[in-house]
Amino acid sequence: SLKPFPKDFLWGASTSAYQVEGASLEDGKGPSCQDVKVVPEGTSDLKVCADQYHRYKEDIALMAEMGFKTYRFSISWSRIIPEGTGAINPKGIEYYNNVIDECLKYGIEPLVTMFHFDMPAALDERGSWGNRDSIDWFLNFAKVMFENFGDRIKYWLTINEQNMLTLVGPVIGTLMIPEGCTNVLKETYQQNHHMLVAQAKAMALCHEMLPGAKIGPAPNISLVYPASCKPEDVLAAQNYNAIRNWLYLDMAVYGVYNNLVWAYLEENDACPEFGEGDAEALKNGHPDFIGFNYYNTATVEASDGTEKLDSGADQQTARGEAGVYRGYKNPNLPTTEFGWEIDPMGFRATIREMYSRYRLPMIVTENGLGAYDTLTEDGKVHDQYRIEYLRKHIEQIQLAITDGAEMMGYCPWSAIDLISTHEGMVKRYGFIYVDRDEFDLKTLDRYRKDSFYWYKKVISSNGED
Protein backbone atom coordinates (compact mmCIF):
# COMPACT_ATOMS: atom_id res chain seq x y z
CA SER A 1 0.00 0.00 0.00
CA LEU A 2 1.04 3.59 -0.58
CA LYS A 3 2.89 5.52 2.09
CA PRO A 4 1.45 8.99 2.77
CA PHE A 5 3.28 12.25 2.07
CA PRO A 6 5.15 13.42 5.19
CA LYS A 7 3.08 15.77 7.40
CA ASP A 8 5.48 18.67 6.91
CA PHE A 9 5.82 18.13 3.14
CA LEU A 10 6.69 21.43 1.48
CA TRP A 11 4.05 21.99 -1.20
CA GLY A 12 4.70 25.12 -3.22
CA ALA A 13 5.95 26.31 -6.58
CA SER A 14 8.90 28.08 -8.18
CA THR A 15 9.92 31.17 -10.10
CA SER A 16 13.19 32.90 -10.89
CA ALA A 17 13.98 36.58 -10.52
CA TYR A 18 14.87 37.43 -14.11
CA GLN A 19 11.83 35.61 -15.51
CA VAL A 20 9.17 36.95 -13.13
CA GLU A 21 10.18 40.24 -11.53
CA GLY A 22 10.53 42.75 -14.36
CA ALA A 23 11.70 46.18 -13.13
CA SER A 24 14.92 45.11 -14.76
CA LEU A 25 16.68 48.43 -14.28
CA GLU A 26 14.57 49.97 -11.55
CA ASP A 27 15.53 51.18 -8.07
CA GLY A 28 19.24 50.82 -8.62
CA LYS A 29 19.31 47.32 -10.10
CA GLY A 30 22.28 46.72 -12.37
CA PRO A 31 21.80 44.84 -15.65
CA SER A 32 22.32 41.08 -15.69
CA CYS A 33 23.39 38.98 -18.65
CA GLN A 34 19.70 38.38 -19.27
CA ASP A 35 18.99 42.10 -19.64
CA VAL A 36 21.71 42.64 -22.21
CA LYS A 37 21.29 39.47 -24.27
CA VAL A 38 19.65 39.50 -27.69
CA VAL A 39 16.39 37.60 -27.17
CA PRO A 40 15.29 35.08 -29.82
CA GLU A 41 13.22 36.68 -32.57
CA GLY A 42 9.52 36.88 -31.77
CA THR A 43 9.99 36.61 -28.01
CA SER A 44 9.61 39.27 -25.36
CA ASP A 45 12.54 40.92 -23.61
CA LEU A 46 12.87 40.64 -19.82
CA LYS A 47 12.06 44.22 -18.84
CA VAL A 48 8.58 43.68 -17.40
CA CYS A 49 8.02 39.91 -17.26
CA ALA A 50 5.10 39.28 -14.87
CA ASP A 51 5.90 42.52 -13.03
CA GLN A 52 6.23 40.69 -9.73
CA TYR A 53 8.52 43.43 -8.46
CA HIS A 54 5.48 45.68 -8.18
CA ARG A 55 2.89 42.99 -7.48
CA TYR A 56 4.59 40.62 -5.05
CA LYS A 57 1.97 41.23 -2.37
CA GLU A 58 -0.87 40.20 -4.64
CA ASP A 59 1.11 37.21 -5.92
CA ILE A 60 2.05 35.94 -2.49
CA ALA A 61 -1.54 36.40 -1.29
CA LEU A 62 -2.64 34.16 -4.18
CA MET A 63 0.00 31.58 -3.24
CA ALA A 64 -1.28 31.70 0.34
CA GLU A 65 -4.80 31.17 -0.99
CA MET A 66 -3.59 27.96 -2.66
CA GLY A 67 -2.15 26.95 0.70
CA PHE A 68 1.54 27.07 -0.25
CA LYS A 69 3.92 25.86 2.45
CA THR A 70 6.91 27.18 0.51
CA TYR A 71 7.71 29.57 -2.32
CA ARG A 72 10.88 28.99 -4.29
CA PHE A 73 12.18 32.24 -5.78
CA SER A 74 15.63 33.50 -6.66
CA ILE A 75 17.53 36.56 -5.55
CA SER A 76 18.83 38.67 -8.38
CA TRP A 77 22.54 39.24 -7.82
CA SER A 78 22.59 42.53 -9.72
CA ARG A 79 19.57 43.85 -7.83
CA ILE A 80 21.43 43.72 -4.54
CA ILE A 81 24.99 44.23 -5.84
CA PRO A 82 24.51 46.14 -9.11
CA GLU A 83 28.09 45.69 -10.35
CA GLY A 84 28.34 42.15 -9.00
CA THR A 85 31.03 43.19 -6.52
CA GLY A 86 31.34 46.30 -4.38
CA ALA A 87 28.48 48.60 -3.46
CA ILE A 88 25.24 47.15 -2.14
CA ASN A 89 21.92 48.54 -3.36
CA PRO A 90 19.75 49.16 -0.26
CA LYS A 91 16.58 49.15 -2.35
CA GLY A 92 17.40 45.66 -3.53
CA ILE A 93 17.86 44.42 0.03
CA GLU A 94 14.61 46.12 0.96
CA TYR A 95 12.74 44.39 -1.87
CA TYR A 96 13.79 40.88 -0.82
CA ASN A 97 13.17 41.69 2.84
CA ASN A 98 9.63 42.61 1.84
CA VAL A 99 9.16 39.43 -0.19
CA ILE A 100 10.50 37.27 2.63
CA ASP A 101 8.37 38.98 5.27
CA GLU A 102 5.29 38.75 3.07
CA CYS A 103 5.84 34.98 2.73
CA LEU A 104 6.40 34.53 6.46
CA LYS A 105 3.25 36.51 7.22
CA TYR A 106 1.30 33.61 5.67
CA GLY A 107 3.49 30.88 7.08
CA ILE A 108 5.10 30.28 3.67
CA GLU A 109 8.71 29.09 4.00
CA PRO A 110 10.96 30.96 1.54
CA LEU A 111 13.17 28.59 -0.49
CA VAL A 112 15.80 30.80 -2.02
CA THR A 113 17.87 30.11 -5.13
CA MET A 114 21.09 32.08 -4.94
CA PHE A 115 21.86 32.02 -8.65
CA HIS A 116 19.37 31.39 -11.43
CA PHE A 117 20.91 32.14 -14.84
CA ASP A 118 21.47 35.86 -14.17
CA MET A 119 25.13 36.82 -13.93
CA PRO A 120 25.56 40.57 -13.40
CA ALA A 121 26.50 42.05 -16.79
CA ALA A 122 29.43 43.86 -15.17
CA LEU A 123 30.90 40.48 -14.19
CA ASP A 124 30.33 39.07 -17.65
CA GLU A 125 32.60 41.84 -18.83
CA ARG A 126 35.24 40.60 -16.42
CA GLY A 127 35.09 37.09 -17.82
CA SER A 128 32.13 35.69 -15.90
CA TRP A 129 32.66 32.15 -14.52
CA GLY A 130 35.72 31.89 -16.75
CA ASN A 131 37.54 34.24 -14.40
CA ARG A 132 38.82 32.41 -11.34
CA ASP A 133 37.86 35.44 -9.25
CA SER A 134 34.23 34.43 -9.87
CA ILE A 135 34.59 32.05 -6.92
CA ASP A 136 35.22 35.03 -4.61
CA TRP A 137 32.57 37.17 -6.29
CA PHE A 138 29.98 34.50 -5.65
CA LEU A 139 31.13 33.93 -2.12
CA ASN A 140 30.86 37.63 -1.36
CA PHE A 141 27.33 37.66 -2.82
CA ALA A 142 26.48 34.62 -0.66
CA LYS A 143 27.82 36.39 2.42
CA VAL A 144 25.70 39.47 1.71
CA MET A 145 22.62 37.26 1.40
CA PHE A 146 23.38 35.26 4.53
CA GLU A 147 23.98 38.46 6.51
CA ASN A 148 20.85 40.20 5.34
CA PHE A 149 18.34 37.38 5.03
CA GLY A 150 19.85 34.52 6.99
CA ASP A 151 17.82 35.29 10.10
CA ARG A 152 14.61 34.32 8.26
CA ILE A 153 15.60 31.87 5.53
CA LYS A 154 15.96 28.23 6.44
CA TYR A 155 16.34 26.70 2.97
CA TRP A 156 18.91 27.77 0.39
CA LEU A 157 19.66 26.47 -3.09
CA THR A 158 23.02 27.26 -4.64
CA ILE A 159 23.05 27.32 -8.45
CA ASN A 160 20.02 26.51 -10.55
CA GLU A 161 20.65 23.89 -13.23
CA GLN A 162 24.39 24.27 -13.35
CA ASN A 163 24.41 21.21 -15.60
CA MET A 164 22.17 22.86 -18.17
CA LEU A 165 24.22 26.01 -17.97
CA THR A 166 27.26 23.96 -18.87
CA LEU A 167 25.56 21.85 -21.53
CA VAL A 168 23.36 24.46 -23.24
CA GLY A 169 24.34 27.79 -21.62
CA PRO A 170 24.22 29.81 -24.82
CA VAL A 171 20.58 28.77 -25.46
CA ILE A 172 19.64 30.12 -22.04
CA GLY A 173 21.65 33.30 -22.62
CA THR A 174 24.31 32.50 -20.05
CA LEU A 175 27.82 31.04 -19.99
CA MET A 176 30.03 33.33 -21.94
CA ILE A 177 32.67 31.73 -24.12
CA PRO A 178 35.35 34.30 -25.00
CA GLU A 179 35.71 35.12 -28.67
CA GLY A 180 38.48 33.24 -30.40
CA CYS A 181 38.53 30.49 -27.75
CA THR A 182 40.28 27.49 -29.30
CA ASN A 183 39.17 24.78 -26.86
CA VAL A 184 35.53 25.46 -26.10
CA LEU A 185 35.04 22.20 -24.19
CA LYS A 186 37.94 22.95 -21.87
CA GLU A 187 36.79 26.53 -21.34
CA THR A 188 33.26 25.29 -20.59
CA TYR A 189 34.46 22.76 -18.02
CA GLN A 190 36.83 25.29 -16.49
CA GLN A 191 33.85 27.60 -15.92
CA ASN A 192 31.92 24.63 -14.61
CA HIS A 193 34.76 23.87 -12.22
CA HIS A 194 34.74 27.43 -10.86
CA MET A 195 31.00 27.12 -10.26
CA LEU A 196 31.51 23.82 -8.45
CA VAL A 197 34.16 25.28 -6.18
CA ALA A 198 32.03 28.39 -5.59
CA GLN A 199 29.09 26.17 -4.68
CA ALA A 200 31.14 24.04 -2.27
CA LYS A 201 32.52 27.14 -0.54
CA ALA A 202 29.05 28.69 -0.34
CA MET A 203 27.69 25.52 1.32
CA ALA A 204 30.52 25.60 3.86
CA LEU A 205 30.00 29.32 4.50
CA CYS A 206 26.28 28.78 5.01
CA HIS A 207 26.96 26.14 7.64
CA GLU A 208 29.47 28.40 9.35
CA MET A 209 27.33 31.55 9.38
CA LEU A 210 23.89 29.99 9.73
CA PRO A 211 24.08 26.77 11.71
CA GLY A 212 20.30 26.33 11.63
CA ALA A 213 19.97 26.68 7.87
CA LYS A 214 19.97 23.99 5.20
CA ILE A 215 21.52 24.28 1.78
CA GLY A 216 21.65 22.14 -1.35
CA PRO A 217 22.24 22.21 -5.11
CA ALA A 218 19.50 22.41 -7.75
CA PRO A 219 20.59 20.65 -10.93
CA ASN A 220 18.21 19.36 -13.59
CA ILE A 221 18.24 15.59 -13.15
CA SER A 222 16.75 13.28 -15.75
CA LEU A 223 17.54 9.65 -15.87
CA VAL A 224 18.98 8.62 -19.25
CA TYR A 225 17.61 5.47 -20.90
CA PRO A 226 19.46 3.38 -23.49
CA ALA A 227 17.53 3.31 -26.79
CA SER A 228 17.76 -0.49 -26.81
CA CYS A 229 19.27 -3.35 -24.85
CA LYS A 230 22.31 -3.33 -27.14
CA PRO A 231 25.34 -3.14 -24.86
CA GLU A 232 26.73 -0.19 -26.81
CA ASP A 233 23.52 1.77 -26.18
CA VAL A 234 23.79 0.99 -22.48
CA LEU A 235 27.34 2.37 -22.44
CA ALA A 236 26.14 5.49 -24.25
CA ALA A 237 23.40 5.95 -21.64
CA GLN A 238 25.98 5.58 -18.88
CA ASN A 239 28.12 8.22 -20.58
CA TYR A 240 25.29 10.69 -20.79
CA ASN A 241 24.06 9.93 -17.28
CA ALA A 242 27.52 10.74 -15.99
CA ILE A 243 27.94 13.91 -18.06
CA ARG A 244 24.42 15.22 -17.56
CA ASN A 245 23.58 14.10 -14.04
CA TRP A 246 26.06 12.37 -11.77
CA LEU A 247 28.97 14.73 -12.29
CA TYR A 248 26.99 17.45 -10.53
CA LEU A 249 25.69 15.41 -7.65
CA ASP A 250 28.93 13.46 -7.12
CA MET A 251 30.66 16.84 -6.86
CA ALA A 252 28.11 18.38 -4.52
CA VAL A 253 27.90 15.33 -2.26
CA TYR A 254 31.36 13.73 -2.41
CA GLY A 255 33.51 16.53 -3.84
CA VAL A 256 35.09 14.33 -6.49
CA TYR A 257 34.89 14.27 -10.27
CA ASN A 258 32.92 11.39 -11.70
CA ASN A 259 35.49 9.07 -13.30
CA LEU A 260 33.57 8.63 -16.56
CA VAL A 261 33.37 12.38 -17.03
CA TRP A 262 37.03 12.82 -16.16
CA ALA A 263 37.99 10.18 -18.72
CA TYR A 264 35.86 11.90 -21.34
CA LEU A 265 37.46 15.26 -20.61
CA GLU A 266 40.95 13.74 -20.69
CA GLU A 267 40.19 12.20 -24.06
CA ASN A 268 39.26 15.66 -25.36
CA ASP A 269 42.08 17.58 -23.72
CA ALA A 270 39.47 19.42 -21.68
CA CYS A 271 40.23 18.67 -18.02
CA PRO A 272 39.77 21.75 -15.84
CA GLU A 273 42.79 23.11 -13.98
CA PHE A 274 42.57 22.90 -10.20
CA GLY A 275 43.56 26.07 -8.37
CA GLU A 276 45.18 26.09 -4.95
CA GLY A 277 42.85 24.70 -2.32
CA ASP A 278 40.16 23.58 -4.78
CA ALA A 279 40.35 19.88 -3.98
CA GLU A 280 39.99 20.62 -0.29
CA ALA A 281 37.19 23.14 -0.79
CA LEU A 282 35.27 20.60 -2.87
CA LYS A 283 35.56 18.06 -0.09
CA ASN A 284 34.53 20.55 2.59
CA GLY A 285 31.20 21.64 1.14
CA HIS A 286 28.30 19.38 2.00
CA PRO A 287 24.66 19.67 1.02
CA ASP A 288 21.95 19.00 3.60
CA PHE A 289 19.54 17.93 0.89
CA ILE A 290 19.33 17.67 -2.87
CA GLY A 291 17.07 20.01 -4.79
CA PHE A 292 16.44 18.98 -8.39
CA ASN A 293 14.40 19.97 -11.42
CA TYR A 294 12.71 17.22 -13.41
CA TYR A 295 10.81 17.67 -16.66
CA ASN A 296 11.41 14.36 -18.42
CA THR A 297 13.90 11.61 -19.06
CA ALA A 298 16.37 11.45 -21.93
CA THR A 299 17.02 8.52 -24.25
CA VAL A 300 20.25 7.96 -26.16
CA GLU A 301 21.93 5.46 -28.43
CA ALA A 302 25.54 4.80 -29.26
CA SER A 303 27.36 7.16 -31.55
CA ASP A 304 30.12 5.75 -33.73
CA GLY A 305 31.86 9.09 -33.72
CA THR A 306 31.44 9.85 -37.40
CA GLU A 307 28.19 11.83 -37.20
CA LYS A 308 27.99 15.58 -36.95
CA LEU A 309 26.12 16.31 -33.72
CA ASP A 310 25.88 19.52 -31.85
CA SER A 311 25.31 18.98 -28.19
CA GLY A 312 22.49 21.37 -27.50
CA ALA A 313 19.04 22.19 -28.76
CA ASP A 314 17.67 23.16 -25.36
CA GLN A 315 17.54 21.94 -21.75
CA GLN A 316 15.56 18.82 -22.59
CA THR A 317 16.48 18.02 -26.15
CA ALA A 318 20.23 17.54 -26.40
CA ARG A 319 21.25 15.96 -29.68
CA GLY A 320 24.42 14.31 -28.51
CA GLU A 321 28.12 14.31 -28.85
CA ALA A 322 29.95 12.37 -31.52
CA GLY A 323 31.53 9.19 -30.16
CA VAL A 324 29.90 9.60 -26.74
CA TYR A 325 26.12 9.40 -27.11
CA ARG A 326 23.43 10.40 -29.57
CA GLY A 327 19.95 11.70 -28.70
CA TYR A 328 17.08 9.37 -29.55
CA LYS A 329 13.39 10.16 -29.64
CA ASN A 330 11.70 7.75 -27.23
CA PRO A 331 8.77 6.24 -29.17
CA ASN A 332 7.00 5.31 -25.93
CA LEU A 333 6.48 8.83 -24.69
CA PRO A 334 4.09 11.60 -25.71
CA THR A 335 5.41 15.14 -26.03
CA THR A 336 4.18 18.59 -25.01
CA GLU A 337 3.16 21.25 -27.53
CA PHE A 338 6.74 22.44 -27.27
CA GLY A 339 8.27 19.07 -28.06
CA TRP A 340 9.38 17.98 -24.59
CA GLU A 341 8.73 14.32 -23.80
CA ILE A 342 6.35 13.57 -20.91
CA ASP A 343 7.45 10.76 -18.59
CA PRO A 344 5.87 10.59 -15.13
CA MET A 345 7.12 7.06 -14.46
CA GLY A 346 10.61 8.23 -15.35
CA PHE A 347 10.23 10.67 -12.46
CA ARG A 348 9.96 7.77 -10.03
CA ALA A 349 12.86 6.02 -11.73
CA THR A 350 14.95 9.19 -11.44
CA ILE A 351 14.14 9.60 -7.74
CA ARG A 352 14.91 5.91 -7.05
CA GLU A 353 18.28 6.20 -8.74
CA MET A 354 19.20 9.45 -7.00
CA TYR A 355 18.17 8.29 -3.58
CA SER A 356 20.04 5.03 -3.77
CA ARG A 357 23.17 6.86 -4.95
CA TYR A 358 23.17 9.69 -2.40
CA ARG A 359 20.79 8.86 0.45
CA LEU A 360 19.93 12.50 1.11
CA PRO A 361 16.48 14.06 1.50
CA MET A 362 15.26 15.54 -1.76
CA ILE A 363 13.04 18.39 -2.82
CA VAL A 364 11.65 18.82 -6.32
CA THR A 365 12.53 22.37 -7.25
CA GLU A 366 10.91 22.30 -10.73
CA ASN A 367 8.57 20.13 -12.79
CA GLY A 368 5.74 21.29 -15.00
CA LEU A 369 4.05 21.68 -18.32
CA GLY A 370 4.70 24.57 -20.69
CA ALA A 371 1.62 25.16 -22.82
CA TYR A 372 -0.36 27.76 -24.77
CA ASP A 373 -3.11 28.78 -22.34
CA THR A 374 -6.17 30.81 -23.26
CA LEU A 375 -8.02 33.21 -21.05
CA THR A 376 -11.77 32.94 -21.68
CA GLU A 377 -14.00 36.02 -21.81
CA ASP A 378 -15.20 35.36 -18.31
CA GLY A 379 -11.65 35.23 -16.95
CA LYS A 380 -11.09 31.46 -16.76
CA VAL A 381 -8.22 29.27 -17.95
CA HIS A 382 -9.22 25.65 -18.52
CA ASP A 383 -5.84 23.96 -18.22
CA GLN A 384 -6.94 20.37 -17.65
CA TYR A 385 -3.78 19.23 -19.51
CA ARG A 386 -1.62 20.83 -16.81
CA ILE A 387 -3.68 19.21 -14.05
CA GLU A 388 -3.20 15.82 -15.74
CA TYR A 389 0.53 16.33 -16.08
CA LEU A 390 1.01 17.42 -12.47
CA ARG A 391 -1.32 14.79 -11.03
CA LYS A 392 0.61 12.00 -12.74
CA HIS A 393 3.91 13.33 -11.44
CA ILE A 394 2.63 13.73 -7.89
CA GLU A 395 1.43 10.11 -7.98
CA GLN A 396 4.94 9.03 -8.89
CA ILE A 397 6.42 10.99 -5.99
CA GLN A 398 4.16 9.07 -3.67
CA LEU A 399 5.29 5.81 -5.25
CA ALA A 400 8.89 6.91 -4.76
CA ILE A 401 8.15 7.68 -1.11
CA THR A 402 6.71 4.20 -0.88
CA ASP A 403 9.98 2.91 -2.39
CA GLY A 404 11.72 4.48 0.59
CA ALA A 405 12.95 7.81 -0.79
CA GLU A 406 12.95 10.77 1.60
CA MET A 407 11.02 13.53 -0.15
CA MET A 408 10.83 16.96 1.48
CA GLY A 409 8.69 18.86 -0.95
CA TYR A 410 7.39 19.62 -4.41
CA CYS A 411 7.74 22.96 -6.17
CA PRO A 412 6.48 22.79 -9.73
CA TRP A 413 7.39 25.40 -12.31
CA SER A 414 5.86 27.85 -12.04
CA ALA A 415 3.87 29.60 -9.34
CA ILE A 416 2.73 32.17 -11.87
CA ASP A 417 3.13 32.70 -15.62
CA LEU A 418 6.49 34.18 -16.51
CA ILE A 419 8.89 34.44 -19.43
CA SER A 420 10.41 31.19 -20.67
CA THR A 421 14.18 30.82 -20.93
CA HIS A 422 14.08 31.10 -24.73
CA GLU A 423 10.48 30.75 -25.88
CA GLY A 424 8.92 33.94 -24.60
CA MET A 425 5.61 34.52 -22.85
CA VAL A 426 3.47 32.15 -24.92
CA LYS A 427 4.97 29.13 -23.18
CA ARG A 428 3.13 29.31 -19.86
CA TYR A 429 3.57 27.13 -16.79
CA GLY A 430 1.77 28.96 -13.97
CA PHE A 431 -1.18 28.23 -11.69
CA ILE A 432 -1.86 31.95 -12.00
CA TYR A 433 -2.47 33.46 -15.41
CA VAL A 434 -0.89 36.83 -16.20
CA ASP A 435 -2.82 38.96 -18.66
CA ARG A 436 -0.20 40.00 -21.16
CA ASP A 437 0.94 38.86 -24.59
CA GLU A 438 4.38 38.52 -26.05
CA PHE A 439 4.69 42.21 -26.83
CA ASP A 440 1.43 43.75 -25.59
CA LEU A 441 1.56 44.22 -21.83
CA LYS A 442 -2.24 44.60 -21.55
CA THR A 443 -3.41 44.79 -17.91
CA LEU A 444 -0.93 42.37 -16.27
CA ASP A 445 -3.89 41.34 -14.11
CA ARG A 446 -3.83 37.95 -12.39
CA TYR A 447 -6.41 35.17 -12.98
CA ARG A 448 -6.79 31.84 -11.21
CA LYS A 449 -6.46 28.93 -13.67
CA ASP A 450 -8.40 25.68 -13.15
CA SER A 451 -5.09 24.18 -11.97
CA PHE A 452 -5.04 26.81 -9.19
CA TYR A 453 -8.21 25.39 -7.60
CA TRP A 454 -7.03 21.84 -8.17
CA TYR A 455 -3.61 22.41 -6.57
CA LYS A 456 -5.28 24.06 -3.59
CA LYS A 457 -7.17 20.80 -2.99
CA VAL A 458 -4.02 18.74 -3.43
CA ILE A 459 -2.28 20.79 -0.77
CA SER A 460 -5.16 20.85 1.70
CA SER A 461 -5.46 17.05 1.47
CA ASN A 462 -1.66 16.63 1.66
CA GLY A 463 -1.56 14.94 -1.73
CA GLU A 464 -4.46 12.58 -1.21
CA ASP A 465 -6.86 14.34 -3.61
Question: Which residue ranges make up the site for ligand BGP (CB under 6 A)?
Answer: 16, 19, 160-161, 164, 220, 293, 315, 366, 370, 413, 420-423, 427
Catalytic residue among 109, 301, 341, 366: 366
Strand bridging mode 214-218 / 224-226: unpaired
d(CA 296, CA 368): 10
How far is residue 413's CA from residue 364's CA, in Å, rounded to a whole number? Answer: 10
Query: Exactly one of 21, 109, 161, 301 is catalytic; which is it?
Result: 161
Q: Which is nearer to ligand BGP, 38 or 229 (CB)?
A: 38
Q: How far is CA 323 from CA 237, 329, 414, in A?
A: 12, 18, 37
Of 243 and 282, CB closest to ligand BGP: 243
Instruction: Return the H-helix or E-strand segment holding 389.
Output: helix 384-403
Residue closer to ligand BGP (CB basis): 320 or 430: 430
Question: In whole angstroms, how close is the CB of 304 to ligand BGP at the nearest point?
Answer: 30
Residues 143 and 100 sit within 8 Å (Cβ to Cβ):
no
Q: How far is the CB of 341 from ligand BGP (least distance, A)?
A: 13
Q: Which is nearer to ligand BGP, 148 or 316 (CB)?
A: 316
CA 51 to CA 44: how far, in whole Å? 13
Q: Is 456 helix (H, G, I), strand (E, B) or coil?
A: helix
Residue nearer to ligand BGP on the CB measure, 19 or 297: 19
Active-site annotation holds for 65? no
- Cα dist from 314 to 47, 57, 167, 299, whole Å: 23, 33, 9, 15
Minimum distance, C-beta of residue 420 to ligand BGP, in the bound complex (Å): 3
Instruction: Tell me the closest approach of the beta carbon of residue 419 to ligand BGP, in angstroms.
Output: 8
Least separation in angstroms between residue 171's CB and ligand BGP is 8
Closest CA to 111 of 211, 22, 9, 214: 214
Sign of the alpha-carbon dihedral angle for 208, 210, 211, 216: negative
Query: For ligand BGP, which residue has the nearest CB?
Result: 420
User: In the annotation, is 366 catalytic?
Assistant: yes
- For the annotated catalytic residues, the residue numbers are 161, 366
